[in-house]
């Protein structure tokens, strides 16, 4: 028998969602996601953590407005850090993007709300090992932590900390997928995954844009110099 959730807050790591969506080539519908996660107990509030370009991308802005106005998410936005890198060996240059500020914001909010006794259960949509210690902190306060993650993209240490069976996004595609938009092209570094035909006045049931943020650039692991 499943343990009652009590007061439940959901925390969504948008960068993590985008990474898995890009890899698996299908997009998560945020309305469907919260509805499915609510089947074992009502989700009282959803916090959404993402990075934003400067100046903001119009498609990003439309998505965040939709999440706030239609789904009533608490949307927390952080600057998307961009660095220009140069290879020390060949001199080639590239852009590197980092969303660490959003991850730190989500970890801090999780711990803060836990200390303030704002929830009994936290549902984290992430598989990032950066959240291991914040999860342990809220569990030490007597809180439950559930995880929703891509099966092939979850840290093993994080799996061990879940208070219930993990909800694997890739195994529930039939319940979570948003149908492709007409004219949609999955984003690389140019389009940032933004949905070109989404607008805030679209049907709320099918209104989410694909997640617009870039990931940490794989080239960031190369031997290079920040310029």
CATH number of the domain where residue 193 is located? 3.40.50.1010
**Angstrom distance (rounded) from CA 76 to CA 48:** 6
The pLDDT tens digits for 95-132 are 565 678 999 999 999 999 999 999 999 999 999 999 99
2 within some domain: no
Distance CA 155, CA 100 (A): 17
pLDDT surpassing 80 at residue 2: no
Query: What is d(CA 220, CA 71) in angstroms, rounded to the nearest whole number?
Result: 35
Structurally, the chain folds into a number of domains equal to 1
**Coil vs helix vs strand at 9:** strand
pLDDT in tens, 171-219: 999 999 998 765 444 433 333 333 333 333 333 333 333 333 333 333 2
CB proximity list for 185: less than 8 A, separation 6 or greater? 191, 196
> What's the CA gap between 61 and 198, in Å, rounded?
10
103 in a structural domain: yes
Residue 12: closest CA among 23, 4, 3, 21: 21
Give the C-alpha separation, 64 to 74, whole Å: 10
Q: What is the pLDDT of residues 128-175, one digit of tens each?
A: 999 999 999 999 999 999 999 999 999 999 999 999 999 999 999 999
pLDDT of 1 strictly over 70: no
* 3-class state of residue 12 by DSSP: strand
The pTM of the full predicted model, rounded to 2 decimals, is: 0.76
Tell whether 3 is covered by a domain. Answer: no
Q: How far is CA 191 from CA 17, 145, 177, 220, in A?
A: 17, 34, 20, 20
Among 60, 57, 36, which Cα is nearest to 48's?
A: 60
Closest CA to 219 of 128, 83, 126, 127: 83
Reference 106, options 78, 85, 66; nearest CA is 78
Domain that holds residue 129: 8-226
């Amino acid at each position: 028998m499943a343990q009652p959730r009590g007061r439940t807050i959901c925390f969504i790591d948008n960068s993590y969602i985008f990474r898995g969506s890009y890899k698996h080539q299908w997009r998560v519908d945020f309305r469907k996601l919260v509805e499915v996660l609510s089947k074992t107990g009502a989700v009282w509030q959803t916090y959404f953590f993402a990075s934003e370009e400067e100046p903001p991308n119009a498609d990003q802005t439309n998505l965040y407005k939709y999440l706030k106005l239609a789904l009533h998410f608490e949307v927390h936005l952080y600057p998307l850090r961009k660095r220009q890198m140069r290879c020390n060996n060949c001199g080639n240059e590239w852009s590197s993007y980092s969303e660490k500020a959003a991850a730190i914001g989500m970890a801090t909010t999780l711990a803060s709300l836990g200390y303030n006794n704002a929830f009994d259960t936290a549902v984290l949509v992430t598989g990032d090992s950066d959240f291991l210690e914040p999860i342990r902190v809220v569990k030490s306060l007597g809180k439950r932590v559930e995880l929703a993650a891509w099966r092939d993209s979850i840290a093993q240490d994080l799996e061990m900390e879940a208070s219930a069976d993990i909800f694997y996004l890739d195994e529930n595609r039939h319940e979570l997928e948003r149908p492709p938009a007409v004219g949609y092209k999955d984003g690389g570094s140019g389009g940032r995954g933004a949905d070109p035909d989404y607008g805030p006045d679209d049907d709320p049931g099918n209104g989410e844009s694909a997640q617009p943020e870039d990931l940490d650039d794989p080239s960031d692991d190369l031997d290079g110099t920040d310029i």
